[in-house]
């Protein structure tokens, strides 16, 4: 491929410490990137916790390994379908609306509190699976568009570190709660975190003021 994918630049002769600190400052200095990294961290915590809960509750309900696998695969199928729908969603909705679309779908786990059945819990996550690819494409595209070329790799590493930092705790917390609390109470705790996510994202000034990707391109 003959297309140049990077800007021409001189070798960076700054110290290692400076090169490590710079991407952290860049991410933390941009409110939108900082807020999205933290929101993604919470959503990853919720998502992995709920998927783990589907496995545990499915086994408790007497489902076979194949049936439990089918329920988990249904979420993956929705993510795949959502990837085909993402271009349409991005054209129709502004950045803030795309983000809020996913955040609000996390409240679908409340369906389990009404009907305490693993099928209800799975159904409550499917809308999120459809929304995730649109959110990812918008946020990642936004981050790439606003990040200087020389910092792109380091900023990506920092952003992903922040957004994935608490993700492994999701299944751990879900397992502990399902082992020590009634299933409804455990899912209610994840619903409470989802409510925090929704309120934070809905009221965030940085997300409310986020320009479109087209506007970013025009500024560049």
Q: Model-level pTM?
A: 0.86
Query: Hey, what domains does the chain have and what are their CATH numbers?
Result: 30-219 (1.20.1250.20)
pLDDT per residue over 61-117, tens digit each?
999 999 999 999 999 999 999 999 999 998 888 888 999 999 999 999 999 999 999
Q: What DSSP line would sit under 57-115, residue for residue?
A: HHHHTT--HHHHHHHHHHHHHHHHHHHHHHHHHHHHS-HHHHHHHHHHHGGGGGHHHHS
Q: What DSSP line would sit under 164-213, residue for residue?
A: HTTTTHHHHHHHHHHHHS-HHHHHHHHHHHHHHHHHHHHH-HHHHTPPPH
pLDDT per residue over 137-189, tens digit each?
888 888 888 888 878 888 888 888 888 889 999 999 999 999 999 999 999 99
């Amino acid at each position: 491929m003959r297309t140049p994918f990077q800007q021409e630049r001189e070798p960076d002769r700054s110290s290692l410490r400076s090169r490590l600190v710079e991407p952290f400052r860049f991410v933390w200095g941009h409110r939108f990137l900082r807020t999205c990294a933290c929101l993604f961290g919470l959503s990853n915590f919720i998502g992995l916790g709920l998927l783990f809960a589907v496995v545990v509750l499915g086994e408790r309900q007497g489902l076979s390994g194949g049936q439990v696998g089918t329920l988990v695969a249904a979420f993956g199928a929705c993510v795949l379908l959502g990837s085909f729908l993402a271009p349409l969603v991005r054209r129709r909705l502004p950045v803030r609306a795309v983000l809020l679309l996913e955040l609000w779908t996390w409240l679908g786990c409340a369906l389990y509190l009404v009907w305490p059945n693993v099928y209800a819990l799975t159904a409550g996550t499917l809308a999120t699976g459809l929304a995730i690819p649109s959110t990812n494409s918008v946020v990642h595209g936004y981050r790439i568009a606003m990040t200087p070329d020389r910092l792109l790799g380091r900023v990506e590493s920092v952003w992903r570190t922040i957004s994935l930092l608490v993700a492994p705790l999701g299944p751990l917390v879900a397992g502990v709660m399902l082992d020590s609390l009634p299933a409804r109470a455990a899912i209610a705790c994840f619903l409470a975190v989802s409510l925090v996510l929704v309120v934070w994202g809905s009221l965030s000034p940085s997300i409310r003021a986020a320009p479109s990707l087209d506007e970013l391109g025009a500024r560049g």
